[in-house]
Amino acid sequence: MALQNQTDPQQAAVALAEAVTRHLSPGTAVEVTDVTIPHSNGMSGETVLFDANWDGTAHALVARVQPAGPAVFPRYDLQLEFDVMRALGEHSTVPVPRMLFSEKDSGPLGAPFIVMERVDGRVPSDDPPHTVEGWVLDLAPEQQATLYDSALSQVAAIHAVNIDAVGLSALRTHPEAGFDGQLALWEKAFAWAAEGEANPTVEKALEWVRENRPAGAESAVLTWGDARIGNVIFDDDLRAAAVLDWEMLSVGPRELDLGWWLFLQRYYTEGIGAPALPGFLTATETLDRYTELTGVEVDPDVVAFYEVFAATRLSILMHRAGNLMIQAGFLPPGAPMRLSNPASQTLARLLGLPAPEGETQSFAGNR
């Protein structure tokens, strides 16, 4: 979900009917109804839910729309996301929605978009955080454990994908591949997000990351990027029904995902002052379980490095989000979120840096 939804549901119904007709049902009238735009998760592109009917059959579909205006991420490649999700759906055990078509023309919805089949289920909320309120918090500990293990199993499954066999070998030479590609991406992202404003915490963290990169060869697996429980649809049995949100995908070290996973777990507990959920694994238990699932032992110190890198990257996104929320009127001018937020405060603690000044603010509860 975007920080601020911009798509008009009535206009979207007309545009989607035209696009679905052109891509999936040429010559047959398509009726689009029940267009809704959720407002609960994430900080990226808009998600549009809709029903489409043609040939007497109803289809529950989803459109993911690239931001048409100011965005949280410096770049979006919906076509790449579409290609990767389609490859996974056709050639792997990773559960993803069935991809239907990619629309590169900005005309229909004001920006490129992709359309996929809708997957029924529930998604842990970011706003309000699932560790504070909602259905995940209400689960019994053993149910939380089932949910956690099912989601972590998808990280293992993604890392087990044979990149070449599924037709994604081009990702190996993508400019953002590997640690070097990721570091270059996020250094550029920080310069773009900060707009010349100093951010001492992020600046010190990037310096630390450059100076402390792990020695030795790194693995080269398909990485999800935004690897977290809030990007999984769960069925009624608390099993993963679909893995979502691939904006940050790449080929790189497996620890890139594991560090992000653990930091987001830390963010939604320590970062916002919420207790850990009793059914969720600790960091050490998570890495042990990952080894059980994959047969690959990971060095906790290397994962700890990538957790700092994850905290740095999320702090960069929060700086950008803080500026966007001021521009949108969600926060007053000069609001400290861009510098002082749960990510940057936690990052400072991880590195023993001075705490960012100002009230700690987040997008949660402010949209």
- Catalytic residue numbers read 226
| Direct distance between the N- and C-terminal alpha carbons of the chain, in angstroms, rounded to an integer | 12
Tell me how crowded residue 348 is: count the other CB atoms within 10 A of its CB: 21
Q: How far is it, in rounded angstroms, from Cα 158 to Cα 246?
A: 12
- Distance separating alpha carbons of residues 336 and 197, to the nearest angstrom: 12
> Which residue, among 32, 33, 97, 31, has the nearest Cα to 64 in the 3D structure?
97
Task: Tell me, rounded to whole angstroms, the distance of Cα 33 from its chain centroid.
Answer: 28
Task: Work out the number of other CB atoms within 10 angstroms of the CB of residue 120.
Answer: 10
Residue owning tokens 């999984």: 232
223: which strand partners?
Answer: 250
CA dist., res. 172 & res. 30, Å (int): 40
Q: How far apart are CA 185 and CA 89, in angstroms?
A: 28
Q: Alpha-carbon distance 41 to 78, whole Å?
A: 18
Torsions phi, psi for 36 (to 5 deg): -135, 150
- Considering Cα of 334, then 337, then 338, then 340, what sign does the dihedral take? positive
DSSP string for 52-100: EEETTEEEEEEEEE--SSS-SSS---HHHHHHHHHHHHHHSSS--PPEE
**52: phi then psi, degrees, rounded to nearest 5:** -125, 135
Question: Across the chain, where does the E strand assignment appear?
Answer: 31-36, 46-54, 57-65, 99-103, 113-117, 221-223, 232-234, 240-243, 250-252
Closest CA to 327 of 312, 313, 338: 338
